[in-house]
Amino acid sequence: MNLGIGLRNLSRAREILSVLVLDYGFGYVFDQLGLSRHLPIARRRRPSREYAGLPGPRRLRLALAELGPAFIKLGQVLGARGDFLPRAFVQELRRLQDEGPVVPFAEIRGVIETELGRPIERCFREVEADPLSSASLGQVHAAVLPDGRQVTVKVLRPGVRRVVETDLQILSDAAALLTRQVPALRRHDLPGFVRYFATQMEDEMSYTIEAHTADRFRHSFTSAGVDIRIPEIIWDLTAREALTTERIRAERVDRLPGRSCAIDRKAAAQQIGRAFLHQVFVDGFFHGDPHHGNLLIDDAGRLVLLDFGIVGHLDPRTRRLLCEAVRRLYEEDIEGLVAAMSELGTLGGDADLQSLRQELARIVSRFMVLPRREFPMGEVLMRTLRGLWLNHIRVPAELSLAAKSLLMAEAVATDLDPDFDLRQVAAPVLREARARELVPEELVDRSARAVESAARRLGRLPARLDRVLSLIEHGGLRVRVEDLDIDTRWGRMSRALNRLALGAVAMGLLIAGAVLLVLGKHTTHAVLGGVAFAGALLTGLVVVLRAMRPGQL
């Protein structure tokens, strides 16, 4: 079988397989996908002794952490896909820490000077050699500008871009392979998911994009009246692989007790909830990773938001349908909720709306009855998206990221105020989003876009009809019929034909050997007969043994 992995990436692909299968025991996954017969290494079933006692979700988290930056980020993305993975795996992957070994400062210095185009002494009065933090992609150092301002310098790890690009190519090849070899996975569009992930990784490795994103968030919060502090970008000391920002001294929310009695915890929790609801439902541009390390409280009691490498975008139509879905959820309108969520996704030929209706009814009943802490709003969105996925309705990856963002922000707000309820904060934000939709200018603009789109389609219709009629006239019209199970059936038929052919060879050898042994008059005939007879027995034995092992021959 052609694995579709370039020779230059073969060594890394072998390393990845070795970690997943030999160390952490995920060979059974290849069995379930029907690929283990092509990969001898994948026949190993058990993890190494060091990890044998750990549950599967934890082993997956540790394996991804060991495989490096691209796989750490992949785990974080999958941790947002409550619609795609079992709940236990999602919860474990959300614990995946973005950490990496410390890079010597001499190497970091080289990156800074290359990116900024001048010696480091001309950029900073001093830079601390020991990093403030070290993640899988970058490392952060405290520094002082020539004018005395304290800043932080975030530097991309030397060589990390090459490593990530190699792993992304392997993931792309693996996605194409799985799509070809496992028909059941085709509806999940694995190549499309890898393309989305690769774009996200490329954006994260470009610190100029992160800098512009931070400025956009600052403007958005200011216009919305949300008092969240974002570090100022030092633009003349920022480049593609080096980002310099104002240094803000702040503490994580979960480490506040004992030093922050003056902070209004309830107000801060409300600010977090309002800010992230506004991002998702009103702006459509949201921070995708608001964990405890990125949402802090400064010495003055103000919220601080950091790290804009992961962001999400929701187009106006998606925001409108999402608002409609949440409104139907509050009203306990199951039919309206099913209609809105179905329109948000792409219905496959096997979509089961009746099953989706039952699943959403269970979610709504829990949402209205269970206490907020037991069933937070972010979890509601996650379970709703999983219900869509299980019933063969595919939704944009950005929706899963939005649900994860709300879930994480809700957890931080709850640490500040145990009585925080995102559902109460959501009501005014949803009213604002609805009001914006009904602004006359917005209605006129939306109608104009719809008319323009319809006009474009109508304008293309005559040409398309003419093309179809021309194909029919010249006998060039072809209809493609796709059988998703044809690869599986052909594989079975091929193996059966192989066995029949070997059986026929064995029978021919047996007959020839018998004839030579019985009727032969010379010693040579007897020797040839014995060889043919032994060959027949050996070939027959091979056929029998292979037939007893499913998937072989």
pLDDT tens-digit map of 274-333:
899 999 998 899 998 888 888 888 878 888 999 898 899 998 888 888 888 888 888 888
Through-space distance between the first and last CA atoms of the chain, rounded to whole angstroms = 13
Catalytic residue check, 483: no
Contact 8, 170 (CB under 8 A): no
pLDDT at 2: 39
How distant, in Å, are the alpha carbons of 219, 267, 276, 382, 510 from that of 406? 21, 18, 7, 10, 72
Amino acid at 103: V
Burial 397-423 (b: 16+ CB within 10 A, else e): bbbbbbbbbbbbbbbbbbbbbeebbbb
CB neighbour list of residue 380: distance below 8 Å, 6 or more residues apart: 329, 363, 367
pLDDT at 1: 34
* Distance from C-alpha of 8 to C-alpha of 25, rounded to nearest angstrom: 26
User: Which candidate, 378, 380, 418, 427, places its Cα nearest to that of 402?
Assistant: 378
Low-confidence ranges of the chain (pLDDT < 50): 1-4, 484, 550-551
3-state class (DSSP) for residue 417: coil
pLDDT tens-digit map of 430-484:
888 888 776 565 555 555 655 665 666 667 767 777 777 777 776 666 665 555 4
Segments making up each domain of the chain, as ranges: 99-222+232-247, 250-438, 439-479, 491-547
How distant, in Å, are the alpha carbons of 507, 542, 545 from that of 538? 11, 6, 11
Helices (H), 1-104: 10-17, 27-33, 56-67, 69-78, 87-93
Give the angle subtended at the CA of 304 by the CAs of 301 and 309, to the nearest 5°.
Answer: 170
pLDDT at 127: 95
User: Which candidate, 236, 256, 283, places its Cα nearest to that of 429?
Assistant: 283
CB neighbour list of residue 275: distance below 8 Å, 6 or more residues apart: 221, 224, 226, 228, 303, 305, 409
Of 289, 307, 415, 421, which residue is the catalytic one? 289
Contact 145, 151 (CB under 8 A): yes
pTM beyond 0.85: the answer is no
pLDDT at 205: 93
- Bridge-based pairing of strands 126-127 and 138-144 is antiparallel
3-state class (DSSP) for residue 244: strand
* Distance from C-alpha of 35 to C-alpha of 185, rounded to nearest angstrom: 13
Helices (H), 68-104: 69-78, 87-93
pLDDT at 438: 66
Burial of 170 (0-12, 13-18, 19+ CB in 10 A): buried
Residue 19's CB is within 10 A of a number of other CB atoms, namely: 18
* Distance from C-alpha of 95 to C-alpha of 409, rounded to nearest angstrom: 15
* Distance from C-alpha of 490 to C-alpha of 31, rounded to nearest angstrom: 19
